[in-house]
Amino acid sequence: MALVTSKQMLLDAQKGHYAVGAFNAENMEMVQAIVQAAEELKAPVMIQTTGGTLKYATPKMFANMVKAVAETASVPVCIHLDHGPSFDMAVKCIVAGYTSVMIDGSKLPFEENIAISKRVADMAAAVGIPTEAELGKVGGKEDDTVSSGDDIYTDPQEAKEFAERTGISSLAVGIGTAHGFYKGTPVLDVNRLAEIREVVDVPLVLHGASGLTDEQVRSCVERGICKVNFATELRKAYTDAVKKYIAEDPDVFDPKKYQAAGRAAVVEQVKYRMTVCGCDGKAEN
């Protein structure tokens, strides 16, 4: 199946009251694992790369890897730029073959965030690519994305104005989540999320889901989240499996052997999170 955009995928999730799992990949094995999990569960899936990951390998390299795996897949696959740092990066990813992009202007003042988000959304829409943006902040650190401070929550009325003025296809909201693993117990403002859902028409996105409980993720999906991002826990699953393999066979020198162990661990982690999001079986519809 050819790569698809995220637009219809997320609109279907919004209508069906489930969320699409969006998983960050760092290498070929993680790309393979994410799509394998999606096929086994018959789920639509989004594969993401951050700006930091795209310093490790080019957008073209990741786009071609995902495209190659998607072409033989039986489920819809989208490749998405996660936390895009600039207009130029969004253009590079679209030219490379990405089928969805995010522009993250959440650190900017409100009007400046609107301006950059609208600029990317207009450019991407001209070639049929949907755009995600962010209002409010997701705390913690992920690659080059670092957020801190108390101003992390998305204001519902600002979210309504932001979505209407920018023309974005989906909106990431701040309700108390953080990138990376949590050092304490996260407290999510799900009532705020419900208020945002009441006034914003476009699909809503939850960042910083690694480490959230099943109940917390499901509670957010019930209140309108249509896309849930997972990154850190996939990296940990992959790395832990590789470390275990090498510890048990310290003489191994063939990367394919321990990377296959990492891939298998990611398959299981992705399947687990897909069932929590409720997107398993939705590619059959």
Known catalytic residues are: 82
Phi, psi angle pair for 185, to nearest 5°: -90, 120
* Cα–Cα distances in angstroms (integers) from residue 148 to residues 38, 51, 136, 156, in the given order: 34, 19, 11, 21
Residue 23 in tokens: 């998983």
DSSP 3-state of 226: strand
Q: In the chain, which residue ranges form alpha helices assigned H by DSSP?
A: 6-16, 28-41, 53-56, 59-71, 87-96, 110-125, 156-166, 190-199, 214-222, 232-248, 255-277
The residues, ordered by sequence, that sit 6+ positions from 73 with a Cβ below 8 Å of its Cβ are: 1, 35, 38, 39
- Dihedral (C-alpha) 163, 166, 172, 173: value to the nearest 10 degrees? -50
Residue 197: half-sphere exposure toward Cβ, Cα within 13 Å: 20
The residues, ordered by sequence, that sit 6+ positions from 284 with a Cβ below 8 Å of its Cβ are: 42
Q: Say if residues 168 and 134 touch (Cβ distance below 8 Å).
A: no
> Cα separation of 24 and 274, whole Å?
14
Closest CA to 206 of 72, 46, 71, 76: 46
Pairing type for strands 20-24 and 178-179 reads unpaired
> Cα separation of 214 and 222, whole Å?
12
